[in-house]
Chains A and B, each alone.
Chain A
Amino acid sequence: MSRAKIRTKLPTKSADPTVDIELTVNGERVSAEVSTRMLLSDFLRHELGLTGTHVGCEHGVCGACTVLINGVAGRSCLTFAAQAAGCEVRTIESVANKDGTLHPLQEAFRDCHGLQCGYCTPGMIMNILSSFNSSAPLDLSDEGIRDIISGNLCRCTGYQNIIAAVRQAAKAMSLG
């Protein structure tokens, strides 16, 4: 019986085609040589160590990986790092204030118990912030808030508390 050889040394470099990219992440200039197929979510997490961006389904359904790309929410699992070249990307790590105090939206999530396990929360927060910043009118009815968060799945909360958190945050930020 032949036995597979244990590989003691891993290849140091991928054979993938690569591309040089330069972008701004949370206000910092970043340049890197990345595999052409590297997803933005993997770039943020594995290359930059920004593990606050979570990866759920990797095909655009769950919303956990949502980040801001040039100010608007986008799925980082449905964006190649190469496509984000020249863009300004913001992740959950940039949301709290520099002194560690929470953003009003994070504060509201805590106050209203808008999270339990927290896996979906970074994507929720980035998506909601994008809606808060959008030129589109903000509808703070239950239906309107459900529409805003419809692209983010949460398996813990049953959404009610997230809806309350969005409303409280909008009020605290004098929106709507």
Chain B
Amino acid sequence: MKPPPFEYCAPRSLKDAVELLAADPSAMVLAGGQSLIPALNMRFAAPSRLIDIQHVEGLKGVVIEGGNIIVRAMTRHRELELNDEVFRANPLIRETMAHVAHVPIRNRGTVVGSLCHADAAAEMPSILLVTDGSVVTESPRGRREIPAADFFQFHMTTSREPDEIVVEAHFPVLPQGAGWAFEEFTRRHGDYAIAAVAAIVTRAGATDVVSLSACGVASRPIRLTVCEQIFAAQGFTDASFKAAGEAAKEYVTAPDDIHATNDYRRDLLASLVVRAVEKALTRSR
């Protein structure tokens, strides 16, 4: 349980960090380290160099601007969770954050780091996806914005190029009066999700909008588009809840594992979709 040797550097400017990463294809970026250091301790990863970005100027803090909560790369989970302005702008974030590991991990781990690690069962990627958020990267080729739908490719794989540093995540502010819910099932507090569902319900009379995402059930976080369409077409009736639950089952591609069988996850996801939409609905205005 000791990491392999590596070169270490702690640049002060983003320009230096970008240059260092571009110069060494087997270097990795270190932010909070709460996913990367376990991977190193278990020797799943062996980078030639770690580029510690904690001292890079301009990568700390959160701002709410232009309808987005802009989370910079060194923002720790706990900082975002306890931020009252963020809670008012998008309460789904705080509700979800309570499921991300434990407080001591959230004190050190960063939100952007978790998005880049992109575990298929991790909670925050599914929030970026359900809110139609995005990440912003910096590389020698300049800045680039990647929508969440394109960013998460596979378990622990994103569309970030090797020379790109993700400098921001943009979580859209929820529409006025929108209801929200995050429902997760794990065997132990703080574990990765066996299955979890994020829901946002925006009431607009004849055109209610339901956004749904899930994690833990496929090779990456997914949008439950068919379920969203069922609610959009049929409204919120016993029949539409039942149909959406059944439709959700088809999204489960995770094979049987030590935690759950495929069948179990299918039933679980159906229940979580119903539970999440019901809760989001009661919170909507």
Do residues B41 and A58 form an inter-chain contact, with CB atoms below 8 A? yes
Would you give the 0/1 interface string for B187-204, flagging 1 where the beta carbon is closer than 8 Å to chain A? 001100000000000000
Do residues A79 and B108 form an inter-chain contact, with CB atoms below 8 A? yes
- Complex formed: what's the CA distance from A15 to B6 in Å? 11
Q: In the assembled complex, how far is the CB of residue A56 from the closest CB belonging to chain B, in whole angstroms?
A: 10
Write the chain B residue with the least CB distance to A126: B104
Write the chain B residue with the least CB distance to A18: B8
Would you give the 0/1 interface string for A22-44, flagging 1 where the beta carbon is closer than 8 Å to chain B? 00000000000001110100100
Q: A162 an interface residue at 8 Å Cβ cutoff?
A: no
Do residues B107 and A130 form an inter-chain contact, with CB atoms below 8 A? yes
Q: A127 an interface residue at 8 Å Cβ cutoff?
A: yes
Do residues A72 and B78 form an inter-chain contact, with CB atoms below 8 A? yes
- Complex formed: what's the CA distance from A37 to B189 in Å? 30
Q: A132 an interface residue at 8 Å Cβ cutoff?
A: no
Report B11-53 residues with CB < 8 Å from chain A CB: 30, 33-34, 37-38, 40-42, 50, 52
Number of A-B contacts (CB under 8 A): 100
Residues of A contacting B1 in the complex (Cβ-Cβ under 8 angstroms):
57-59, 77
Do residues A66 and B104 form an inter-chain contact, with CB atoms below 8 A? yes
Residues of B contacting A83 in the complex (Cβ-Cβ under 8 angstroms):
30, 33, 52, 54
- Complex formed: what's the CA distance from A36 to B3 in Å? 10
- Given A60-B34, A63-B102, A82-B52, does the pair A73, B7 have CB atoms closer than 8 Å? no
Q: Which of B10, B34, B108 is in CB contact (< 8 Å) with A82?
A: B10
Residues of A contacting B3 in the complex (Cβ-Cβ under 8 angstroms):
37, 39
On B, residues with C-beta under 8 Å from A are 1-8, 10, 30, 33-34, 37-38, 40-42, 50, 52, 54, 78, 82, 101-105, 107-108, 189-190
12 additional contacts (CB under 8 A) given A63-B102, A69-B107, A151-B103: A35-B5, A37-B4, A37-B6, A58-B2, A58-B41, A60-B34, A75-B104, A80-B8, A130-B107, A150-B102, A151-B101, A151-B102
